[in-house]
Structure 1
Amino acid sequence: MRELLVIGIGAGDPDQVTIQAVKAMNRADVFFVIGKGDEKQELVDLRTTILSEHMDRDYRIVDILDPPRDRTNVPSVRSAGSAQPDYGTVVDDWHDRRAQVFEEKFAAEDGVGAILVWGDPSLYDSTLRIVERVLARGNVVFDYTVIPGVTSIQSLAAQHRIVLNRIGEPVHVTTGRRLREGLPDGVGTAVVMLDAECSFTHVPDKDTEIWWGAYLGLPDEVLISGKLRAVEDEIVRVRAELRKRKGWIMDIYLIRR
């Protein structure tokens, strides 16, 4: 493979794919599609739907089965003196195994390859880290280009018709694990991603508001907003029901003191 295109395709709505992304897709000879098992087959199907809608040339698909991440013995909230492996160590091991799989697939191809990334490759996605790790191994050499996409943060704000920041104030982007440790001083607004444990239920401020969304841009999109204490139980219930029904969930929320 002489070149790799890492293409952001938005939060899920095929209409969010930019003109730049469509042009890049139509330069590719082969698309590397990363699967995460039967439960998330819908995500693979959505990628192939986007290709069917926007491609006007022949192309091939190479499936990559994502190696599972070790989710055992990893504390939800880090604690001093814990003998358990920390989150960073577990993710580093996972990335190393992913790089080995990617390297094998890249080495078997000629021409231009592409990876379609949900949202934008710069935000809570490991693809660019894996690509750099593959190149650092020195066994394959290629150029790569990054095409930005619409992020889930943008989609959340648009669907709720809100502005992310108050005038002159910062917006903090974090995870559920970090939210449980508390927001930094001076931060009144936070976007929270990767929260499998509904950490918003641990936010103490009684006047906090929340804007939550799941499956943004997809037909199953769900939005809930309001005073946190008034809607948190509903979000927990709806989230659990959706995950049980579909087998997977992608959600994000904004909280504001």
Structure 2
Amino acid sequence: MRVSDKTSYEQGIEIVLKSKNFRKVLFLIGFMGIAFPAQDVLAQGSSKKGNVKQLNIQADKLRDSFIRQSADIARKYSDAGDYEKSKEMLESILSIKKDVPGVKAMIDQLDEKMISSNSADFEIDAARNWSGPAGLVAKGRSIRIQATGTYDLITDIKTGVEGLPEKNPMKELAPGVPVGALMGVVLSQEKGKPKMGKPFKIGEKVEFTPKDDGVLMIGLNLPPGHQSKGKVKVRISGYFRRSSN
């Protein structure tokens, strides 16, 4: 076929194929073919980010609403005298946002109210060492014990170079507690067997959080065979239930 016999369309195709810019044309076509889907992906990503932003706004509103309602319920529990429930509501606020202004201070105030709203007074006779059961205490629930008074520590005991025994605080001296000091110990059960907690010094005042549910015993750390005289006054307050002597 002669050139003159070609149609104008065929002549145009031939010119393009022979053109030095043909490779550039192919490159642009290929690039545009890839670029268009990429633009779609970017558009979809932007849309998803917009959705996440809206969800974050909704989540913040829900959290703020929960905080306001929980604080209101906590106040109503406190007004009704149920300080423990009030504290639980405030702690639920801190579980989702730790820096809410005033919440920690309110919890401290509730702790003080719980301790001061339940109390009992009794005496300990130095001649007997121990009182009867001072009260039933609960694991993780704080109590406050205060004491006043003096007594005569009288003893005429012979001992060897090993000193006085410290194996059983209920009958002998308690290790780690000064001789003559007021002390406490929690008696509980473990797998159906009696368990004695670690003796702790009370002195004039102590705030104590039991590690187990049990019976609180309060007494003076005195050696067996002593002849001490006098009484000390004790007040226990907080999360406990008084038991009969």
TM-score after normalising by structure 1: 0.21
**How high is the TM-score relative to the length of structure 2?**
0.22
Q: Bigger radius of gyration, 1 or 2?
A: 2
